[in-house]
Amino acid sequence: MVTFWATLLRFLLYCFIIYLALALFLTYSQGSLLYHPTQESNHGHKVEVLNNDGEKLNLIVLNEGQDDALIYFGGNAEAVEDNAYIFSQSFPNHSIYLLNYRAFGGSSGSPSESGNFSDALALYELVSGRHASIDVLGRSLGSGVAVFLASEREVRHLALVTPYDSIESVAQGRYFMFPIFLMLKDKYKSIDRVPHLKQKTLILRAETDQVVPAVHTDNLLKAFKKDSVNVKLIPGSNHNTINNDQKYHKYLREHFGYE
């Protein structure tokens, strides 16, 4: 009997050590799990340097000199310059600003929620001095940055692609056995900022989203007033292919006043 209890205690101790090791791994590697910086590449487009908090951020600028501006925040592994051609064609009456996050696309620094929010505000100040109105588009991780900016500054139109309620909630669903709320540093709680949004918002959803499960977009939608949000589903798409569908660009053009 003593041997049984000793064996059981030893087994539980091993399980606890493994659990603790996994928890520590998630805690200390969360930055590399959340952010996947891209290499510098601008395909010949104009690159302007945005200086903020001692960092130098590479900003791709398209269609300069328009009255209206569009700021784009991309995903956590997205090379934003890949949108340059289609955006410049789809939104010819907008000057377009594609922000490379810290450590992305040749920008300096290390990515973080606080850094992304600070850089978004700095970009807004730059753009607002040049244009009569500003529209904001955020995809995936960038939807959280877009919601933050639109809740803090005057934005005419807001569009969110494959958005989430919070990164904390998404991570908790994926790593349900760990206390993510205690471990996670960058939480991107978009759901808490929705009540502060004043502009009409477009949300584009993928039919099959393997990165942001539908429940997290559903939770975000519940925070909106019904008449303040327009939701469109892109059939046959997933988290990474949603922008390949013509409907994706059609809905964005309609929202930003082109159709």
Q: Are residues 61 and 7 in the same domain?
A: no
Q: Are residues 68 and 22 in the same domain?
A: no
H or E element, residue 205 = strand 201-208
Provide the domain count of the chain: 2
**Domain assignment of residue 177, yes or no:** yes
**Domain assignment of residue 139, yes or no:** yes
**Domain assignment of residue 136, yes or no:** yes
Q: Are residues 67 and 155 in the same domain?
A: yes
pLDDT at 48: 96
**Domain assignment of residue 20, yes or no:** yes
Q: Are residues 9 and 64 in the same domain?
A: no
pLDDT at 43: 77
Q: Are residues 8 and 73 in the same domain?
A: no
Q: Are residues 24 and 105 in the same domain?
A: no
- The rounded distance, in Å, linking the Cα atoms of 161 and 136 is 11
Q: Are residues 30 and 91 in the same domain?
A: no
The answer to whether residues 12 and 81 touch, using CB atoms and an 8 Å cutoff, is no
- What size, in residues, is the chain? 259
pLDDT along the chain (259 residues), means of 10: 77 87 89 92 87 97 96 96 95 97 97 98 97 97 98 97 98 92 95 96 96 97 93 96 96 92
pLDDT at 2: 63
pLDDT at 1: 59
Q: Are residues 180 and 242 in the same domain?
A: yes
**Domain assignment of residue 218, yes or no:** yes
Q: Are residues 7 and 65 in the same domain?
A: no
CATH number of the domain within which 170 lies: 3.40.50.1820
- Domain range holding 83? 45-255
Q: Are residues 141 and 185 in the same domain?
A: yes
pLDDT at 9: 84
**Domain assignment of residue 22, yes or no:** yes
**Domain assignment of residue 93, yes or no:** yes
DSSP assignment string, the chain: -HHHHHHHHHHHHHHHHHHHHHHHHHHHTHHHHH--PPPP--TT-EEEEEEETTEEEEEEEESTT-SEEEEEE--TT--GGGGHHHHHHH-TTEEEEEEPPTTSTT--S---HHHHHHHHHHHHHHHHTT-SEEEEEEETHHHHHHHHHHHHS--S-EEEES--S-HHHHHHHHTTTS-HHHH-S----HHHHGGG--S-EEEEEEEE-SSS-HHHHHHHHHTS-GGGEEEEEEEEEETTTGGGSHHHHHHHHHHTT--
Q: Are residues 89 and 178 in the same domain?
A: yes
